[in-house]
Structures are given as structure tokens and as C-alpha cells.
Structure 1
Amino acid sequence: MASGGGEASKKLKLYSYWRSSCSCRVRIALNLKGLDYEYIAINLLKGENKTPEFLKLNPLGYVPVLVDGDITVADSFAILLYLEEKYPQHPLLPQNIQKKALHYQAANIVYASIQPYQNIPIIGYIKEKLGPDEMLAWCQHHIRKGFTALEKLLENHAGKYATGDEPFLADLFLAPQIDGAVRRFNLDMNEFPLLSKINESYNEHPAFQDAMPGKQPDTPPEARVD
């Protein structure tokens, strides 16, 4: 779980922003694997991701970034694969090759076809040029498109979680995306009964709930969820 003190130099360090769904994926993985880490808040709205110090960690200026001793890994997908290889406890991928492929597909739908369209620079540009209503419609359109595909992809495989009764890789991508769809973009999840059912399991799992945007050290008071 996240920590801000103790023997911080020996811990994993996660550079994170409270509302970043990419960072949330990694926080869930760290929690599932029972890995202690130091949370280092990077305020994207204040441009802290553009400082020379942070750009040394990730030249693209994105969160999350994981520092593990002498190893620095940026990009959530790369971090998750790194954690899976180095820290095999609670695997993030099932052994079944078909289910493994499903997890790659589902994760990639979120990673490539939904989340990029709601990044701060993108929606900021649309809001400036077209207004807040068009910005919201833009985000909802891409979320609906991705969620519709996910419902079809997982309809014959889902249990409590994406492909059964244990959480794996796709769930790490789905949970923060669903949370953001509801809290940030006012999406009616009644349109997506399968994802809504899976989300109930996320809401009951401590490793997921402790990683959610509303419970981070840098979450603003008005956005905190107790």
C-alpha cells in the first residue's frame, strides 16, 4: 500500500497524479501484489510533469513513473509488465492462453481507444475551441464506443471480474476507466450491464478501492471519497 515515510529510499517509488487512470492501474497492481511503495504526487494541472527533474524520469512528461532502485520505468503498460516479471506474487495474467489474449485485447481497448481521448491536453483543447458541452460529448462518444466493444468481447467470459472470479490485467484497466466515466464524464452505466456488474466487484475489493482517485494523498478535499 502507499506510504510516504519510513525507509523510503529502499521502497518502490511511484510518481502519480490522483486522477490519472494510468497511474491508478499501477496502484491497483502494487496493491494486489502487496508491494509497499512511496507515493510521489505530480500535479499535472500545475505543470509539475514538465519540470527538468521529472523529464529526466520520463522525457514525454507523463505519469506514472515507477522507480525501483536503479531501474526507472515509465508508461503504465510497461510498468505492469515489469512488475509482473519481477514480482510474480498474485499474477496479473491467467495461465489460460485464450484468457490471456482476452486480457491483452480488453486492456488495449482502454489503453488505445478510450483513455487517450480524455487526456488533459486533448480535452482542454476541445473545451477551448468548441466549449464544455462538446468536450463532454467527445469523451462520452469514445467511452461508449470502447465500452460497447468490451461488452461484446467479454460477454461469454466474465464472472465476478473480466474473465472469471479472479482479477487480472484487464480489470486493472477497466476499474479506473469505469470510475472516470461515471465521476468525470457523467456516463450512464445502465447502458453497459456487464461492465456495471464487474464494477460491483471492484467496489468491494480493497486493492482496487484503495487505489481509486478519490483516496490518494493528493486528492483535493472536494473530490475525496471515504
Structure 2
Amino acid sequence: MKLYGDPGSGSTRRVLAALYHIGAEFDFEQIDLFKGDNRTPEFLALNPNGTIPVLVDGGTVLFEASAINFHLAEKFRSDLLPAVVHAGFMETDINAHMRDAIKPLLRNLCIKRFGRLDEVIAPILFLAGPAASYITGTIIDADGGYNV
């Protein structure tokens, strides 16, 4: 395994902490963002976003610290994940993580595009039904109102 990153990056430190906790053997290549190491063709072939950290594990290339740490914990059966996740119930955690990541982006987009979020929620709820509450975090009241 090889980790590309910068120890000054909080995301890289999160992955390093997981690697050290697990006791995995790995190589580390420092990527100097100020020198543009993350914009070289070789690095962009690993991660087209040009962000760190990046983990290469055999034929698997992962970026984003959460995805890398999830992979490491799953691969090494680490105590970093609860036993129920190892048993195959990881989809819920991934969905929750994605929802938490997408929700603020969606809200900001709605506010930027339409002005007020509450003016946008009603049509979304009407068009998407229960799925809209999953995406927007809106709670539909029993009387048909909504709570952002």
C-alpha cells in the first residue's frame, strides 16, 4: 500500500492515524501542494480532483479520507468499525455519510438559486415525496406542513 499526502493536511493525518492504529505496512509519498505536486499528470491519473490523501492498495485507488479509512478498517477487520458493519450492514453508514455531505450542498444551492429555502421545499416535497425528506432533511408534519 502507498499513501500520497501531506502530514500538514488534516485529512492525511486522519488516514495516517488509522494506518498506525491498524498497524498496516505502507509507503508514504509526500505531496507538496505548494509546489503543485498534486497537479502533475502522474498524480492526476490517480485522483483527477487533485486532492489528498490518495491510497493505492494493489489495483484499488481511493481518495477522500473517509473512504480510505472505511476501506482500511474493512480490509483489516479493525475495531475502527463496529462489528455490525463487518457483518455487511455498511450501506446504511455510507448512505448516512453521503446524505450528510449532500444536504448542505443542496440547501446552499437552493438558497443561492431561489433565495429562500422554505420557498423551494414545498415543490421538492410535492415532486419527490418521501425521498425529498431524505435529501433535504425536511421533516413533514402530520398536518402537511414542513420543518426545515
Q: Please classify the TM superposition score into its range, dividing by the shorter chain length.
A: 0.5 to 0.7
2:47 matches 1:47 = no
Which residue of structure 2 lines up, in the alignment, with residue 30 of structure 1? 19
Counterpart residue number, 2:127 = none
Query: Structure 2 CA distance, aligned partners of 1:36 and 1:17?
Result: 18
Point out the structure with max Rg over C-alpha.
2
> Are 2:45 and 1:56 equivalent residues in the alignment?
yes
Kindly indicate which of the two structures has a greater share of residues assigned to strand.
Answer: 2
Matched residue of 1:81: which SS? helix
Q: Is the 8 A contact 2:55 2:62 kept in 1?
A: yes
Counting only pairs closer than 5 Å after superposition, residues 175-194 of structure 1 correspond to structure 2 as none
Aligned to 1:93: 81
**Root-mean-square deviation over aligned CA pairs:** 2.8
Moved over 6 A (4+): none
How many positions carry a matched residue from both structures? 94
For 2:48 and 2:32, the matched residues in 1 are separated by 16
Once residues 18 and 50 of structure 1 are traced to their aligned partners in structure 2, the CA distance between those partners, rounded to angstroms, is 18
Identity level (%): 43
Residue 17 (structure 1) aligned with residue 3 (structure 2):
no
TM-score, normalised to structure 2's length?
Answer: 0.55
State the 1:19 CA deviation: 0.7
> Structure 1: how far apart are the matches of 2:16 and 2:49?
20
Task: For 1:35, give the aligned amino acid.
Answer: A
Q: Distance in 2 between matches of 1:66 and 1:54?
A: 11
Unaligned runs of 5+ in 1: 1-11, 98-103, 113-226
State the alpha-carbon separation in 1 of the partners of residues 30 and 84 from structure 2.
Answer: 37
User: Per the alignment, do residues 33 and 78 of structure 1 end up closer, same or farther by CA in structure 2, a change over 3 Å counting?
Assistant: same
* Residue identity in the other structure for 2:28: Y
After superposition, the C-alpha distances for 1:103-157 in whole angstroms (9 at most, x for unaligned) are: x7xxx6xx96xxxxxxxxxxxxxxxxxxxxxxxxxxxxxxxxxxxxxxxxxxxxx
Amino acid at match of 1:75: E
Equivalent pair of 2:54/2:64 in contact (CA under 8 Å): yes
- Using the TM superposition, give the Cα deviation of residue 96 of structure 1 relative to its aligned residue in structure 2, in angstroms: 7.6
Give the superposition deviation at 1:93: 2.2
Distance 1:46 1:91 in 2: 37
User: Which digits, 9 at most, give the CA deviation of each residue in 1:26-47, with x for residues without a partner?
Assistant: 0011011100110100001111
- Contact between 2:74 and 2:81, CA under 8 Å: does it hold in 1? no
TM-score (norm 1): 0.37
Partner of 1:76: 65
Equivalents in 2 of 1:62, 1:91: separation in Å?
27
Q: Secondary structure at the match of 1:45?
A: helix
